[in-house]
Each structure stands twice: as structure tokens, then as C-alpha cells.
Amino acid sequence: MSGSAGSTGSSEVSLAKEALDEKKHINGVTADVQSGGVDVENILSTVISPSGKEVVIREKDVDDAMRLADEAKNLIVTPEEDRRLCWKIDLCMFPLMCLLYAVQFMDKISTSSAAIMGLREDLHMHGNQYSWVGSAFYFGYLFFNLGPGQYIFQKTKKMSKLLAVFIIIWGLILALHAAPTVNYASFIFLRVLLGCAESMVTPCFTIITSQYWKQEEQFTRISIWFGMNGLGSIMLSAIAYGLYIRNGTYSIESWKILFIITGVITIVLGFLIGFWIPDDPTNARFLTEREKLMVIARIRSNQQGYGNHKIKKHQILEAVKDIRTWLYFLFTVSSNIPNGGITNFMSILLHSDFDYSSRDSLLMTLPTGAVELVGCPLFGILAMYSVNRRYPILKHKLTWALFSAVLALIASCMLGFANSSKSARLAGAYLWYISPVSFICVLANISANSSGYTKKWTVSSINLVAYAAANLAGPQTFVSTQAPGYQGAKIAMVVCYACMIVILGVLFFVNWRENKRRDKLAAERGKDESFENTEFADLTDFENPNFRYTL
């Protein structure tokens, strides 16, 4: 009896395999096959990866954009129409995204201004306690990226709505910094919660950027919205200055009012984000039905779509094995240890090291925001207009990242070692605010070069863990016993930027070499036309033979 049952089971599996072999792909849709009670997975096609492995494309695993891919396949879009659509997306999406990024940077640096407005004295801070105020924010940032952040945001199909909820929560937390019962311990706790709430802004913006803009357009867009950190710095410094010069005329301390103002602005923006920013292009109220299909057509070249909300373990493992993930990690640690220190100590440096009064220190922080506001978008625009110019090396984003890293190294040397000239040190402090261009390039690389929705989220989360850890460590390089010059922190900045230049060079070489290998392989194999919509199959960059890394 048992032998008969085994024979029957084998027969059923054979029938199922035969049925599977007969399945044909028709217009991107294949019917489920059942044979003898055995369910057969709905396989659309297979491709051979650049490493020579056969990769199975299943209907349940494809990108959300696949359902519109065939409809958009025969769509004819002129270059003029595409440019108009790009401008429309820019005008409808960018102002709100840029304003949010400005406000989230206001929230991060609010403690720096509050520190010279009486925060440290009112909360009875001493020794290195203020350094932990800066680090506490990134404890929350680190925890949420290591823990539930990626899972929650990848699983949801309402990413923008969920992000809006987090924005409103962080606005409430920020306003609570002014609570009458706040003390040092509760203030630290609020900073940790604030870090949790803010941690998803950058990865969500990176995902949104990849959903609407082509690879060659992404660096410029990220440069612009990241550069709005400069606008946030200007806005906060102006508000802080206005409050400080009227200190004593309010019923509560001026630094508490600063937190309330920024908190309320954040809450309002949260509601606007929830109302206007779509969860994906198919939900964009500002796009017509034809324009939604045009978005599909324009992002085909990215070899990526909107995303897939299934957590794929093999993509997580691939992200961990990818050398690029760890180059991003090392780069981010190197670039953000200085960032964590300067973000929290710039006003204090101006006050103690440069001997400006508290009032003048708030004014002297205004140029730092102007440098970042102009410099970061300028690098992105120069990179965009260099694509078709005479010098091919200038079209590579990593070239601009290396250039800005060299400028950051020079700025750090000026700040740290030009002890005989206050003007040179001040110029170095301002020039330092060009340094985010390199980090922007890495964000653009993650957006463009990490294909596969789970892999993209995983790489982004690992990178932001490095970002949080580095920013957490950054304030600790400013040791209270080294005040007012904090020479140890300045030397750490120089070392970090020297390492960063080497890492960027290695990243460039790794991507360049792999692209050359894939081009040679494609020439030998010929084009695989077995499946028309490979770009929307949610394949990783390791699996997709048509994928090329942006430099």
C-alpha cells in the first residue's frame, strides 16, 4: 500500500512538472496551473544572471509596476513630452520634499542653538553631558533602523501616509522638549524618541526618488533636497537669533519656544505630506492616466520599478554579501563622525573657539546654511550638465563626490591647523559645509545601484545604521577637557576625510570593473529576449543581466 501511495505521489509531481513546462508567457500574465492536486508556482520566465545562475521570475514576486508594464510597452513618448513630465513631477513633488528636509535638519540642529540660549544651564549639564544630547538622538535612529524600521516601511503599501504619521509624531515629541517638567534625563529620553521618529525620512525619500526619476537624474534631485539642510540651518538660526535678542520678554525660556516653533512647523508639514505626496506614481493625483504610464516608460532604464512588499530573504543575504554595502558603510562612518560633531558643536565652536558672543554666534551660523544651500544643489546641477560634455570623467557622479571630499579635507585642515589665522579657520568651518555632496552621491548610488526592493531597503538600512553610529560617536570626539579648541575632534575630522577619499576611489573601481565584465558577457551571450519586462521583475543587480552600475 505504501509503495502505491509513493508511486501516485511521484506521478502527480511528474504531471505537475510537465504542466509547468508547457506554460507560456502571454502579455505578461500566466494562469496558475494545478495538476493532480499539486500547486505549481506561477513562473513567468527565467533569466541567466551575470554570474551564470538561472533566476526564476515568478508572478507573485514581481514589482508593483509590472501590472502596467505591458500597457506602457507600446507607448510612444517624445523627448519633449518626457521633459515636460519631468518638470511637472519636479514642481509637484519637490517643494514639499525640500521643505520637509529643511525642517528635519532644523530639528537636528535645534540643540546646537539652544545650547547657547541657556539649555545647558537650565538643565544643569556639566562635563560631557551635552555631548550625549547629540548622541542620544542617534541612539533612537540606530535602534529603529536595526529594528522595525525596514520591516514596517517595506511591508506597507501606504509609505507616504505612514511617513506622514511619523512626521506628526516627531513634531509632537519636539514640542515636548519645552515641557515644564523637562530635566536632563527626560530630555535625553525625548531625543532618543525623536531619533526613532525621524529615522525613516531619508530612506523613504531615496525610494521615492527612484520611483519617478531616471538614474542620471537622481543625483541632481537628491543634491537639491539634501541641500535644503542649508535652508533649515538658515531658518533655525534666524528664528533662534530673533528669540535670543528678546530673551526675558517671554513667560518661558527662549530655547523652549524654539523647540515649540519647530515642532509646530513639523506637525503642519506632516499633514501636508500625508495629503499630497503619493504612495507610488499610480496614486499621484497630479498625473493623468497617460502620464502614469509615461512614468513607467521613463524608469525602465533604471532596471527597477516601484517596489515589492514581500520581504525576500535571499535579497537580504545578497545585500549582506555585496561589497558595495560595506563600502557604503565604511564611507558613511568616515563622513558622518565629523558631521555628528559639527552639527552639535558649531555654535559652541563659534562662541568659545572663535570668541564670538552668544548673539553673534547665532548670526555667524547663517553663512554655514548658505554654503550648503548653494553648494550641494550646485554640484548636482554641474553633474547633470556634464553628462554630454567633452570630458567623460565629469559625467560620473563619483568624480564629483571625490572632488567635494578633497574640499572637505582641505576645509578640515584649515579649521584644525590654521591656528595663527582666525579668518582661515573660519573659512575652513564654512567650506566644510560642502562635504555633504559626497554623502549625497552615496545615497544616489544606493538608489540607483541597489536593485531589488528588499535589497534596496536592506542596503539603505545598513547604511543608515552606519550613519546613526557615526553621528552618535561624532559628539564624543569633542571632549570637554579640550575646550575651547577641541583639537582632538579637528584631527579626527582630517583622518576621516582622508579615509573617505580612498573608499570612494575603491567604490568607483569596483563598479567600473563590473560594468566592463558585464558588457563583455553581454557581447558574448547576445541579448536575452525571453522576457520583455525584466526591469520590473524585482530582480537584484546581481540577478539582472541587463543591469549596469552608475558611476
How many H helices and E strands in the chain? Answer: 21, 4
- pLDDT level of residue 393 (50, 70, 90 thresholds): low
Q: Looking at the predicted structure, is the pLDDT value of residue 39 above 70?
A: no
Give the model's pLDDT for residue 22: 42
Name the β-bridge partners of 34.
39
- pLDDT level of residue 512 (50, 70, 90 thresholds): very high
| Residues 143, 192: Cα–Cα separation, whole Å | 9
Q: Looking at the predicted structure, is the pLDDT value of residue 420 above 80?
A: no
What does the buried/exposed string (b/e) look like for 106-136 if buried means 16 or more CB atoms within 10 Å of the residue's CB?
Answer: bbbbbbbbbbbbbbbebbebeeeebbbbbbb
Q: Is 324 left (phi over 0), alpha (psi -120 to 50) or beta?
A: alpha
C-beta of residue 376 within 8 angstroms of C-beta of residue 230: yes
Determine the average pLDDT of the residues in 169-197: 88
Give the model's pLDDT for residue 528: 59
Residue 209: all three cell numbers together: 526618488
What does the buried/exposed string (b/e) look like for 404-442 if buried means 16 or more CB atoms within 10 Å of the residue's CB?
Answer: bbbbbbbbbbbbbeeeeeeeebbebbbbbbbbbbbbbbb
Residue 6, C-beta contacts closer than 8 angstroms, at least 6 positions apart: none
Residue type, 531: F
| Residues 247, 236: Cα–Cα separation, whole Å | 16
Residue type, 105: F
| Residues 466, 457: Cα–Cα separation, whole Å | 14
Give the model's pLDDT for residue 18: 45
Largest Cα–Cα separation, the chain: 95
Give the model's pLDDT for residue 6: 42
- pLDDT level of residue 171 (50, 70, 90 thresholds): very high
Residue 509: all three cell numbers together: 573601481
Residue 543, C-beta contacts closer than 8 angstroms, at least 6 positions apart: 47, 49, 53, 55, 452
User: Which residue do the cell numbers 579649521 mark?
Assistant: 415
201-212 and 453-473 are packed helices; what angle lies between their axes, rounded to 10 degrees?
140
In this prediction the pTM is: 0.78
366-to-55, 98, 168, 371, 479 alpha-carbon distances in Å: 53, 18, 27, 9, 25
The DSSP code for 29 is B
Give the CA count within 13 Å in the CB-facing half-sphere of 243. 26
- pLDDT level of residue 503 (50, 70, 90 thresholds): very high
Structure confidence by residue, pLDDT tens digits, 59-108: 777 777 777 777 777 777 888 888 899 999 999 988 898 999 898 888 87
Give the model's pLDDT for residue 389: 61
Q: Looking at the predicted structure, is the pLDDT value of residue 383 above 90?
A: no
The DSSP code for 282 is G
In terms of C-beta distances under 8 Å and separation of at least 24 residues, what long-range contacts does 50-57 make, across chains too?
A: 50/517, 50/518, 50/521, 50/542, 50/545, 50/547, 51/542, 53/543, 55/539, 55/543, 57/531, 57/534, 57/537, 57/539
Judged by DSSP in three states, 171 sits in helix
C-beta of residue 533 within 8 angstroms of C-beta of residue 70: yes
Judged by DSSP in three states, 288 sits in coil
Q: Looking at the predicted structure, is the pLDDT value of residue 280 above 90?
A: no
| Residues 460, 211: Cα–Cα separation, whole Å | 15
- pLDDT level of residue 529 (50, 70, 90 thresholds): low
Q: Which of 285, 435, 424, 423 is nearest to 375 (CA)?
A: 435
Out of 3.30.750.24, 3.40.630.30, 1.20.1250.20, 2.60.40.60, the CATH code matching 73-536 is 1.20.1250.20
245, exposed or middle or buried, with CB in 10 Å at 0-12, 13-18, 19+? exposed
Structure confidence by residue, pLDDT tens digits, 99-155: 998 988 888 778 878 887 888 888 888 877 887 887 788 888 888 877 687 778 877
Select the more confidently predicted residue: 493 or 307.
493
Structure confidence by residue, pLDDT tens digits, 191-232: 899 988 888 888 888 888 888 888 888 888 888 888 888 888
C-beta of residue 138 within 8 angstroms of C-beta of residue 198: no
CATH 1.20.1250.20 intervals, the chain = 73-536
The DSSP code for 36 is T
Judged by DSSP in three states, 395 sits in helix
| Residues 102, 230: Cα–Cα separation, whole Å | 7
C-beta of residue 432 within 8 angstroms of C-beta of residue 415: yes
The number of residues in the chain equals 551
Q: Looking at the predicted structure, is the pLDDT value of residue 516 above 90?
A: yes
Give the model's pLDDT for residue 435: 85
C-beta of residue 170 within 8 angstroms of C-beta of residue 107: yes
What whole-number percentage of the chain has pLDDT above 70? 90
Give the model's pLDDT for residue 41: 56
Select the more confidently predicted residue: 227 or 532.
227
Give the model's pLDDT for residue 531: 61
Structure confidence by residue, pLDDT tens digits, 133-142: 877 888 888 8
| Residues 330, 327: Cα–Cα separation, whole Å | 5
